[in-house]
Structure formats: C-alpha cells, structure tokens
C-alpha cells in the first residue's frame, strides 16, 4: 500500500477520534454530575450564601446591634445591606479559601484514583482513548466542575441578595459608582476569575489522584496539601515563598471591583495557576502513562 493510500485511509479517523473524545467528556460529565457526592457538594456551596444573607439580615434587623461588618467577616459584608449584589462578592470571598477548593479537591482527588479503586480504570484504558486523552478528559471535567461550583455560589448569592436586600448601582472599592448592569458584568467576571484561580489546584489534585488506587486517600491528601499551603501562606517568616504558593493570589479578584481595574495581581494569579497546571499536569501525565494498571 502506498503512502497516499495510507494517508487517505487514516484521514477519516480524525473526526471520529474527535467525536469519540467529546463523547468521552460528555460521559464523564454526566457521571460526575449525577453522583450524589457531587450534588451534595454543590448543595453545600449553594447553602453558604443563603446562611450569610440570612445572618446579615437578622443582624441588621436588630436595632440594638451594630451594622454588619463591625465584627469583621468576609470582605464586602458591610456593603450587602445597601446592595444585595455585594452578597455575590462576599460569598465568593468566604467560600474561596476553604469550601470551593475543598470541593474541587474531592472531585480532582477521586478522578483517577476512584476509577482505579472501582476497577474501571483498566477498562477505560483498553478503549481507544489512550492514557493521554483520558487524562485530558478527566482534567477538563474537573475544570468544568470548578466553573459550575463557582457559578452555583454566585447564582445562589445573587438570588438571596436580591430577595433580602435592595439592588441598584454599585459603589466600587475606588469610590466610584457604576450601573447595576455593569455591576452584574463585574460579578460574572469575578466568578470566572475565581474559577480560574482553581485550575492549578485542580491539576495538583489530579496528580495526587494518579499516585494511589484509593479515592479516599487521594481526596484526603489533596485536601491536606490545600490546608498546608493555606497555613504556610499565613506565616510571615515564610513571606519569601508566599508568591509561589497557589492560594496566594486567590483574593486578587477584588481588583475587578476597582475603577479602573487593577490587573497586576490578577495577571500574576493566572500566570501562577498556569504554571501549577503545567507542572502538575505534566507530572500526572508522566505518572499515568507509566502506571501499571493491575487486572
């Protein structure tokens, strides 16, 4: 058979492989979002803005108490009573340090290890996906969860904020006022920025998931890394390494609420997340492609 004939026979396979990859991703997302664990995680995340909104409403409804934010709390909490849209920013700043990354850590840590412990990983590797394509599909599904989880928090906060508090023009951190429509656009940008802040941690969790055949161990280890990094980031004696820790710039999304927007730390955050994704994504690929999957 000539080279031209071999090329002609191989050409039709490319669309088929692309469709197979999309089918694999669709199947992965369907399985992930149908699991009770995933739904429970999203339910907990949706409940956080509800609890914050009710607490602020009760606090401000008692005339004998001070205004919200007098005793501290998440950023933007003191502005919630004047504009319910600020509940979106307050909820994201409250969930980002712990709740959101823990949920992502559970999903990422179980992505490969869960398949291995359930005995389904070897069947997936027999399929024509290949280990590289399977790993990319797993990572893409975790990233979709990052975005979905962040949007669930934002949507819940927006609904509760509009129900319990007035909404209208937004006063930025810089003191200028922007319209409600632009405020909604800023809120959407903040949600996307928060989701993007988790891509490095998602890759780290995926790497941990390739190191063990126990889903529980992978989830626990991933959450343990998160807690360790958070503790290190609060120690002033280690300020030299703070800019290299993946959670260091997580709250840089607040700069989207300035007029004009401050891009420096936002860009640093995205660059750091991309670096973590490249390093731990490569490590996960090297581990999975050389991993011996037992029968």
Selected residue with higher pLDDT from 8 and 161: 161
Estimate the share of the chain in helix, then strand, then coil, as percent rounded to the nearest 5.
75, 0, 25
What is this structure's pTM? Answer: 0.84
Q: Is the dihedral of CA 10, 14, 19, 22 positive or negative?
A: positive
C-alpha to C-alpha distance for 110 and 33, rounded to whole angstroms:
14
For residue range 234-280, list pLDDT tens digits in order: 999 999 999 999 999 999 999 998 888 889 999 999 999 999 999 99
What residues contact residue 50 under an 8 Å CB cut-off, 6+ apart? 156, 160
Is 16 inside a domain boundary? Answer: no
Question: Are the C-beta atoms of 53 and 73 separated by less than 8 Å?
Answer: no
Is 8 inside a domain boundary? Answer: no
Look at residue 50 in the predicted model and tell me its pLDDT: 95
- 73 has pLDDT over 70: no
Residue 86's domain comprises 21-290
Is 74 inside a domain boundary? Answer: yes
Residue 61's pLDDT band (cuts 50, 70, 90):
low
Pick the range with the lowest mean pLDDT from 36-45, 153-162, 206-215.
206-215
Pick the range with the lowest mean pLDDT from 17-26, 67-76, 236-245.
67-76
Is 142 inside a domain boundary? Answer: yes
DSSP state for residue 79 in the 8-state scheme: G
C-alpha to C-alpha distance for 218 and 100, rounded to whole angstroms:
17
Is 28 inside a domain boundary? Answer: yes
Domain count within the chain: 1
Selected residue with higher pLDDT from 15 and 146: 146
What residues contact residue 16 under an 8 Å CB cut-off, 6+ apart? none
Counting residues of the chain whose pLDDT is more than 90, the rounded percentage is 49
Neighbouring CB atoms inside 10 A of 25's CB total 17
Q: Which CA distances in Å does 81 have to 47, 68, 164?
A: 19, 8, 9
Is 295 inside a domain boundary? Answer: no
Reduced to 3 states (helix: H, G, I; strand: E, B; else coil), residue 121 is helix
Average pLDDT over residues 89-111: 91
Is 55 inside a domain boundary? Answer: yes
Is 273 inside a domain boundary? Answer: yes
Look at residue 120 in the predicted model and tell me its pLDDT: 59
């Amino acid at each position: 058979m000539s080279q031209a004939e071999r090329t002609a026979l191989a050409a039709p396979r490319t669309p088929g492989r692309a469709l197979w990859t999309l089918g694999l991703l669709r199947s992965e997302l369907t399985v992930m979002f149908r699991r009770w664990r995933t739904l429970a995680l999203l339910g907990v995340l949706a409940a956080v803005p509800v609890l914050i909104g009710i607490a602020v409403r009760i606090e401000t409804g008692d005339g004998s108490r001070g205004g919200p934010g007098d005793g501290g709390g998440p950023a933007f909490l003191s502005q919630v009573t004047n504009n319910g849209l600020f509940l979106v920013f307050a909820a994201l700043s409250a969930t980002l340090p712990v709740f959101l990354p823990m949920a992502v850590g559970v999903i990422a840590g179980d992505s490969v290890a869960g398949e291995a412990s359930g005995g389904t990983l070897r069947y997936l590797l027999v399929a024509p996906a290949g280990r590289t394509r399977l790993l990319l599909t797993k990572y893409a599904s975790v990233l979709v969860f990052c975005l979905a989880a962040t949007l669930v928090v934002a949507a819940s906060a927006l609904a509760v904020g509009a129900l319990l508090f007035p909404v209208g023009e937004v006063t930025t951190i810089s003191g200028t006022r922007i319209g409600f429509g632009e405020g909604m656009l800023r809120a959407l940008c903040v949600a996307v920025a928060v989701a993007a802040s988790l891509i490095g941690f998602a890759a780290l969790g995926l790497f941990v998931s390739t190191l063990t055949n126990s889903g529980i161990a992978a989830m626990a280890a991933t959450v343990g890394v998160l807690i360790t990094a958070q503790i290190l980031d609060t120690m002033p004696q280690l300020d030299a390494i703070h800019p290299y820790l993946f959670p260091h710039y997580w709250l840089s999304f607040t700069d989207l609420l300035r007029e004009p927007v401050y891009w420096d730390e936002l860009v640093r955050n995205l660059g750091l997340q991309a670096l973590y994704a490249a390093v731990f994504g490569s490590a996960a690929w090297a581990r999975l492609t050389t991993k011996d999957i037992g029968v």
